[in-house]
Amino acid sequence: MIPQPTAQQPLLDETFILQADATIGVDDPAAQPIAERFAARLRRSTGFALPMQDGAGTITLSTGGAESLGAEGYELRADTSGVTITAAGAEGLFRGVTTLRQLLPAKAEAGSAQDGPWEIAGTTITDTPRYGYRGVMLDVTRHFFTVDQVKKFIDLVSLYKINRLHLHLSDDQGWRIQVDSWPRLTEYGGSLQVGGGAGGSYTKEDYAELVRYAGERYITVVPEIDTPGHTNAALASYPELNKGDQAPELYTETEVGFSSLTIDKDVTYEFLDDVFREVAEQTPGDVLHLGGDEAHSTPHGEYLTFVSRATELVVKHGKRVMGWHEIADGELPAGTVVQYWGTEDPKAQGLAHKAVEQGATLVLSPANRAYLDMKYHEETPLGLQWAGLVSVEQSYSWNPATLIPNVPASAIDGVEAPLWTETLDDLDKVEFMTFPRLPGIAELGWSPESALDWTAYRDRLAEQGSRWEVLDVNFYRAPEIDWR
């Protein structure tokens, strides 16, 4: 299984076998949708009826215990008599169901009826996450991805107990979320993508659907409006956001660091006030990401002024600030989350310390470990390599607790694996760069430090290949893994 559970013990001489007369029992109406989706999946692959019933069933989801394990923790027992998942609430049951799916044979994920048997070796599991933030970022600006494509991505990452989806919604190449008060952002700024092809954007209904769909899988959407750099799409859409009121052309290449909002114009903050308000209104999560990275065209003094004013606007609209680690050079409001994308760079590490000194917490996304768009090796046909080549082993073999020396454990919220899409123009390519590396990042965020071992993990990862084949995932068959 991935992530490795906190504690697991075998039950010798016990085997659970799912039979045609099995039932699914639920004792809490809040868990009914989780049970229904799980049953629907099993009905397709087993051909069994799997009726739902109140209370205990052959497979039982119960909220009658495990309160000490927190909102995401759960207990699971599989033996000859059945399977029981117990949690304090629906979120914990959902995490337990993802474990149960991995305990079942890979063919249980199939979209049509398969032959049995459907066996699970007897086991008990007690499981709770190491970190509360376990994220993946999808860049939908360099190349745009439709609602249905993002939904499939959500389905795949949710299997590994990911609980944050960071959507990078604006950049130089495109603006992807509707803002009623500034309609040209999507009408014009979202019209293209890298390479000059047709872009796209999410209406408010589209974004609401993504938020809903992710929420059903206990994933919180973190929207990012990247500022003050990475803003050419906005600048091209509205001349008044530029110095001299001269709009640039739309941009469809991949260089960074050339664009900037105009820091000393009142209209800049009127614009951000509107954008942050409308995005915040659509986002149930408590965080709004304002970017802040690679603002090379913004003079440093102006950048610090911008951070102060922009973060005030995020807080004004009821959200906590999240931003890339560069924002730590400015004054940060209480509750800020700083996303560290540095490597072993002393300057970046210094900014992380500066963030913590201000009371901010950190989400760790080291580019030479966690960036899913880095090439696996020199011959990888997709991706970039400015942060180095990132093999499956390298993406797994680091410890969030010691990545940045002398950062207290209490300052680390968790981990995130960003996927930038300069070279990725369809979902097959996204899957190829995401799998098999994302499950390792997910394990770093969930499993206890004592469980992290590359040799053991490599063997468990090998078992996932057959599951991905059934799920039609275009994963990279890394040669260092003995795929089953």
Q: Is residue 339 part of a domain?
A: yes
Per the structure, the count of domains in the chain is 2
Q: Is residue 472 part of a domain?
A: no
Q: Is residue 463 part of a domain?
A: no
Q: 144 and 49, same structural domain? A: no
Q: 310 and 250, same structural domain? A: yes
Q: Look at residue 321 and tell me whether its pLDDT is greater than 90.
A: yes
Region 153-168: mean pLDDT is 98
Q: 186 and 107, same structural domain? A: no
Q: Look at residue 187 and tell me whether its pLDDT is greater than 90.
A: yes
Q: 99 and 28, same structural domain? A: yes
Fill in the DSSP letter of residue 225.
E
Q: 219 and 113, same structural domain? A: no
Q: 208 and 300, same structural domain? A: yes
Of 62, 97, 127, the one marking the end of a domain is 127
Q: 251 and 107, same structural domain? A: no
| 224 close to 167: Cβ distance less than 8 angstroms | yes
389-447 residue pLDDT tens: 999 999 999 999 999 999 999 999 999 999 999 999 999 999 999 999 999 999 999 99
Residue the block writes with tokens 């909002």: 261
For residue 270, indicate whether it is catalytic.
no
Q: 387 and 254, same structural domain? A: yes
CA neighbor of 222 nearest in space, from 206, 232, 207, 235: 207
User: pTM of the predicted model, to two decimals?
Assistant: 0.98
* Chain mean pLDDT for the chain: 98
208-234 residue pLDDT tens: 999 999 999 999 999 999 999 999 999
Q: Look at residue 172 and tell me whether its pLDDT is greater than 90.
A: yes
Q: Which of 294, 312, 393, 469 is catalytic?
A: 294
In CATH, what number is assigned to the domain containing residue 258?
A: 3.20.20.80
Q: Is residue 474 part of a domain?
A: no
Q: Is residue 329 part of a domain?
A: yes
Residue 410: CB atoms within 10 A of its CB come to 8
What DSSP assignment string belongs to 45-101?
HH-----EEES--SEEEE-SS-GGGTTT-EEEEEETTEEEEE-SSHHHHHHHHHHHH
R_g (Cα) of the chain, nearest Å: 23
Q: Is residue 426 part of a domain?
A: yes
Q: How confident is the model at residue 173 (pLDDT cuts 50, 70, 90)?
A: very high
Q: Look at residue 484 and tell me whether its pLDDT is greater than 90.
A: no
Rounded distance, CA 234 to CA 171, Å? 8
CA neighbor of 391 nearest in space, from 373, 377, 370: 377
Q: Is residue 435 part of a domain?
A: yes
Rounded distance, CA 370 to CA 312, Å? 30
Range of the domain at 440: 133-453
322-346 residue pLDDT tens: 999 999 999 999 999 999 999 989 9
Rounded distance, CA 327 to CA 101, Å? 40
In CATH, what number is assigned to the domain containing residue 95?
A: 3.30.379.10
Of 104, 127, 150, the one marking the end of a domain is 127
Region 41-55: mean pLDDT is 98
Of 127, 159, 188, the one marking the end of a domain is 127
Structure tokens at 336: 């800020």
Q: 169 and 265, same structural domain? A: yes
Alpha helices in 167-299 (DSSP H): 184-187, 204-216, 232-237, 266-281
Count, residues in the chain: 484
Region 250-279: mean pLDDT is 98
| 139 close to 421: Cβ distance less than 8 angstroms | yes
Region 250-276: mean pLDDT is 98
CA-based angle 244:248:250, to the nearest 5?
Answer: 160
pLDDT given at position 19 = 98
Q: Is residue 377 part of a domain?
A: yes
Q: 172 and 119, same structural domain? A: no
| 212 close to 202: Cβ distance less than 8 angstroms | no
Region 253-282: mean pLDDT is 98
Rounded distance, CA 238 to CA 232, Å? 10
Q: 362 and 268, same structural domain? A: yes
Q: 56 and 86, same structural domain? A: yes
